[in-house]
Amino acid sequence: MPNVKLLLNEKIDKLGEIGEIVSVKPGYARNYLLPNNLATIPTVGEVKRIQKKKALLEKLYQEEKAKAEELAKSISDLTKLVIIGNAGEAGKLFGSITAKDIAERLGKELKVEISKKQILLKRSITDLGEYEIKLKLHNEVTAQIKLIVKQEE
């Protein structure tokens, strides 16, 4: 059976972007894409509707990017972030500092909402010292901050 051509209403990973006309197997179209309103049959009216939606989404994307760049600037103005931890004599923390802890502390400092998912931390911090922490604020915007973990006095 030949493939079916459909117009995508949403971005679908490994298939295409919004507004693209793609060729898919009939079963995939009939059982998944069409019932979930992820794609439609490409008529002239549908193509125009999707192009307007795409323009609106592009505008929203640019606004989000501008906000993320502004946040990145305010993060770079903040030279360091200090977190106080309780540690033993060897400099090993009792417990650990996670992305959630960093997000909460950064949120208090900058008075802005930062998700723990935006903080790129390979593993939680278990020792005293200085660390370079990367933040992914947007698909195209990242920031970096110096985190200092000090002993509780």
CATH of region 69-151, choose from 3.30.1120.130, 3.60.15.10, 3.40.50.40, 3.10.430.100: 3.10.430.100
Looking at domain 4-61, what is its CATH homologous superfamily? Ribosomal protein L9, N-terminal domain (3.40.5.10)
Where does CATH 3.40.5.10 sit in the chain? 4-61
Q: Is the pLDDT of residue 24 over 90?
A: yes
Tens-digit pLDDT profile for residues 44-60: 898 888 888 888 888 98
Q: Measured over all CA atoms, what is the biggest interatomic distance in the chain, rounded to whole angstroms?
A: 74
Where does CATH 3.10.430.100 sit in the chain? 69-151
At 46 the pLDDT is 87
Cβ neighbours of residue 91 under 8 Å, at least 6 residues apart?
Answer: 127, 128, 129, 151
pTM: 0.67
Which of 85, 26, 14, 74 lies closest to 6 in space, CA to CA?
26
- Find tokens 């930062």 and name the residue: 114
Token pair, residue 28, equals 């995939």
The distance of Cα 153 from the centroid of its chain, to the nearest Å, equals 36
| Residues paired with residue 149 on neighbouring β-strands, in sequence order | 83, 129
Percentage of the residues of the chain whose pLDDT score is greater than 90: 37
Do residues 150 and 128 touch, judged by C-beta distance below 8 A?
yes
**Residue range 109-136: mean pLDDT, rounded:** 89
**Residue range 24-48: mean pLDDT, rounded:** 92
Tens-digit pLDDT profile for residues 54-106: 888 889 889 989 999 998 888 888 878 888 888 888 888 888 899 999 999 98
pLDDT top residue among 69 and 112: 69
